[in-house]
Amino acid sequence: MEKIILASNSPRRRELFGLLGLSFEVITKDIEEKIDQQALPDELVEDLAFQKAYGVFRDHMDRVVIGFDTLVYTETRILGKPKDTEEAKAMLEELSGKAHYVVTGVTIMTKERSRTFHTKTRVLFYPLTQKEITDYIATWEPMDKAGAYAAQGYGSRFIREIDGDFFTVVGIPLSRLYQELKEIGVIASK
């Protein structure tokens, strides 16, 4: 089998995908991510994952291409990646002491078929002090993360409870992806 292409620059996704023991390489195309605040987060991540996968697949139609997208959202709005430290601070203040959801969309494309799905996980934060928020932002970890935190990094100390798949929060629902790859024949099941 040809190498699988991950249409993602995320080092976390590369590391986690490596746990599947499959040969892969990373190839990405820039797409303009537009977050429609009126769209349902589940639909939005699936659409963005599809766009990322398709952008690469157009140039590599003989390969298996996998695209991803992850969003954090509260009951009132979607929290993308913060544009600056002030926006990161506002996001962390909004998440402090409250529950929110993380949803990751995945698209698998082959020349025979395309499959898109999402997984969702509920995350509850402890209340955060202003010093905790300021110190965390000073690590720069929140700056390229949806919702302004990394569950697998320094941000882990703020998480009180996770209801669902931890790997969805990190950005790649690993066990579900493995099952989908088996089902469509990318991974031999016998």
Confidence check: pLDDT of 23 > 80: yes
Confidence check: pLDDT of 189 > 80: no
Identify whether 188 is part of a domain. Answer: no
Output 7 or 186, whichever has higher pLDDT: 7
Distance CA 116, CA 47 (A): 9
Query: Tokens 């990161």 belong to which residue?
Result: 88
Residue 122 lies in domain: 4-183
Considering its fold, how many domains does the chain have in total?
A: 1
Query: Tokens 């409250």 belong to which residue?
Result: 98
Confidence check: pLDDT of 1 > 60: no
Note the pLDDT of residue 32.
Answer: 78
Q: What is the CATH number of the domain that holds 163?
A: 3.90.950.10
Identify whether 123 is part of a domain. Answer: yes
Note the pLDDT of residue 5.
Answer: 96
Q: Which two tokens stand for residue 45?
A: 């991540």
Identify whether 131 is part of a domain. Answer: yes
Residue 188 binned pLDDT confidence (cut-offs 50, 70, 90): confident
The pLDDT tens digits for 72-124 are: 999 988 998 999 999 999 999 999 999 999 999 999 999 999 999 999 999 99
Chain mean position to CA 156: 16
Which residues are tagged catalytic? Answer: 69
